[in-house]
Amino acid sequence: MQTIDQALEKLARSPFRSRFHLSREDRVYIEEKGMETIRRHCADFVEKRLAPAFPPNDGAQTPMRGHPVFKAQHACACCCRGCLEKWYRVKKGTPLSPEAQKKIVDLLMAWIEREYDRI
């Protein structure tokens, strides 16, 4: 099992995944809402859009922009069940356990926190 740091290092080597970054507008949004609210948004998005065995519109359910979590999902390959399977060997057709959801949220938040500090 890889650590968050190992996952982020691997993702940083991907030309596609490494092109995602938070903008100044994202930073302002995070400052206004606070990291705990962003974490709640993240957990909600993961639970509703990623955790079901067969999420509605899978493969196109995560916009590329509009919320810092969406950018994090693409940067971390947690945007759809296909990417979860490819990058983390999480089988399609199996709902994500609460523990798996928490791990994804922790990874996404680690990426957001690093990006937030970079801006």
- Give the confidence band of 119 by pLDDT, cuts at 50, 70, 90: confident
pLDDT single digits (tens) 19-48: 999 999 999 999 999 999 999 999 999 999
Which bin fits 93, alpha (ψ -120 to 50), beta or left (φ > 0)? left
Query: 77 burial class (0-12, 13-18, 19+ CB within 10 angstroms)?
Result: buried
Inter-residue contact 49 to 76 (CB < 8 Å): no
Inter-residue contact 43 to 54 (CB < 8 Å): no
Domain residue spans in the chain? Answer: 4-118
Q: What is the mean pLDDT of residues 94-101?
A: 97
Query: Could you tell me the pTM of the whole model?
Result: 0.95
Which bin fits 34, alpha (ψ -120 to 50), beta or left (φ > 0)? left
